[in-house]
């Protein structure tokens, strides 16, 4: 049991200390209590914490973020793709380590973390702030699990809200115009804009992945640019999927595959490797610029926004959320509904109009049937 003792400080002041043993049996003490009642109250709490497993030694909080951070980063290597790990490593090096490296975890306060997030928000995007903050918070989460801290001072911090992205999908006519301006990449533009693939999924497609008879493309690889090289990984969610395409798109893919070996990439780079995502000065940017010259209302287009175009065209064709989920490779139909809620709202209007027309037709047919079965004298 803990005991309370009186002692004299170096300046001659009367203070109290609590002598106690850690769960491991080590004798230690805590000094500096001004009153005996305060020392007794602390002793009672420490004994209760030992009994229910909440005990955290006073020395545990002396470790610094600089000591814990690198080992936390190393533990992420096993379950993150290299591109994701590079993002964390960069955020740690540029934003977390310079600020928190020498800080003891037991001395960090919630208000400090909130002020730091506010400073970051003035310079970085909301998504980058969220990534940077998550590193500090997760390092401290592990410290709590390892019984170095009683609670995480970074949790509960308010993060900046991400501004909603306004999705402006292309119409079928605009997609056709863009494909025409894309030259040798016409088939790729149609593949992205109709099939809804992520860039890395399309870049990894080989001739042998195409089933011309059933109008399908089998997706099971993802070519992700990592620094100056590419990493070929499984698809997002680690589930292979199949995309069914209209006949005119399959015909375009067949033309792109002419003269290529079965194991050849369908759209290789000029050097023969994986095709990198288009930059602001790429073939796609040039094609968009030519479309905008011809039509000033033509929207800004990126490779990823063509995925939104595919979703829009599918919804316009009354594709249900489950079909759209499988096409886009989302984890759930709920996620699809959430991401494309605005597109489904416009689709709901069309459905409402269609139901209204069906109802009017049904009412009209019922009126005709009633008039046929009415007695001669009952017809007005």
Which is nearest to 49 in space by CA: 15, 109, 2, 3?
2
Which is nearest to 218 in space by CA: 199, 197, 194, 247?
197
- List pLDDT tens digits, range 235-273: 887 788 899 999 999 999 999 999 999 999 999 998 989
More confident residue, 218 or 83: 218
CATH 3.20.20.70 fits 62-145, yes or no: no
Q: Which two tokens stand for residue 325?
A: 């989920």
Where do the domains of the chain lie? 3-55, 62-145, 172-339
Distance CA(310)–CA(297), nearest Å, equals 20
Give the helix/strand (H/E) hosting 69: helix 65-76
- List pLDDT tens digits, range 210-233: 999 999 999 998 888 877 788 888
Backbone angles phi, psi at 16, to 5 degrees: -125, 150
Instruction: Kindly report the pTM of this predicted structure.
Output: 0.60
Q: What is the dihedral of CA 307, 311, 317, 322, to 10 degrees?
A: 130
Q: Which two tokens stand for residue 277?
A: 């995502």
Where would I find the beta strands (DSSP E) of 134-248? 210-211, 216-219, 222-226, 229-233, 241-244
- List pLDDT tens digits, range 265-305: 999 998 989 999 998 889 999 999 999 999 999 999 999 89
Show Cβ contacts of residue 199 under 8 Å, excluding neighbours closer than 6 positions.
192, 277, 303, 304
Instruction: Report domain 172-339's class.
Output: mainly alpha
- List pLDDT tens digits, range 341-358: 666 565 555 556 656 676
The answer to whether the 62-145 and 172-339 domains have the same CATH topology is no
More confident residue, 121 or 376: 121
Residue 144 above 60 pLDDT?
yes
Strand order in the sheet with 210-211: 210-211, 216-219, 241-244
- List pLDDT tens digits, range 171-184: 999 999 999 999 99
């Amino acid at each position: 049991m803990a005991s309370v003792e009186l002692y004299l400080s170096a300046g001659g002041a009367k203070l109290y200390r609590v002598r106690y043993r850690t769960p491991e049996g080590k004798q230690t003490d805590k000094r500096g209590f001004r009153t005996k009642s305060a020392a007794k109250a602390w002793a009672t709490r420490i004994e209760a914490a030992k009994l229910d497993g909440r005990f955290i030694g006073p020395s545990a909080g002396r470790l610094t973020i600089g000591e814990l951070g690198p080992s936390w980063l190393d533990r992420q290597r096993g379950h993150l793709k290299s591109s994701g790990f590079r993002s964390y490593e960069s955020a740690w090096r540029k934003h977390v380590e310079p600020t928190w490296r020498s800080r003891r975890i037991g001395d960090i306060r919630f208000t400090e973390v909130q002020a730091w997030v506010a400073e970051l928000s003035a310079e970085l995007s909301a998504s980058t702030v969220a990534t940077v903050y998550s590193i500090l918070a997760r390092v401290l989460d592990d410290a709590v699990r390892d019984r170095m801290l009683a609670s995480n001072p970074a949790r509960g911090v308010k993060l900046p809200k991400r501004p909603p992205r306004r999705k402006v999908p292309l119409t079928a006519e605009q997609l056709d115009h863009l494909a025409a301006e894309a030259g040798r990449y016409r088939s790729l533009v149609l593949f992205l804009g109709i099939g809804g693939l992520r860039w890395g999924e399309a870049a990894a497609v080989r001739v042998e992945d195409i089933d011309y008879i059933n109008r399908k493309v089998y997706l099971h690889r993802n070519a992700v640019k990592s620094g100056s090289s590419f990493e070929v990984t499984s698809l997002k969610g680690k589930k292979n999927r199949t995309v069914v395409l209209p006949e005119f798109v399959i015909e375009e893919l067949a033309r792109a595959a002419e003269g290529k070996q079965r194991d050849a990439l369908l759209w290789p780079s000029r050097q023969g490797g994986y095709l990198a995502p288009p930059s602001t000065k790429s073939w796609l940017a040039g094609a968009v610029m030519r479309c905008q010259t011809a039509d000033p209302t033509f929207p800004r287009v990126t490779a990823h926004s063509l995925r939104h175009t595919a979703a829009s065209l599918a919804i316009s064709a009354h594709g249900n959320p489950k079909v759209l989920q499988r096409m886009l490779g989302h984890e759930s139909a709920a996620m699809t509904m959430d991401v494309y809620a605005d597109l489904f709202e416009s689709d709901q209007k069309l459905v409402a109009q269609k139901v209204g027309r069906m109802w009017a037709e049904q009412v009209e047919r019922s009126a005709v049937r009633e008039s046929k079965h009415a007695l001669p004298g009952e017809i007005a």
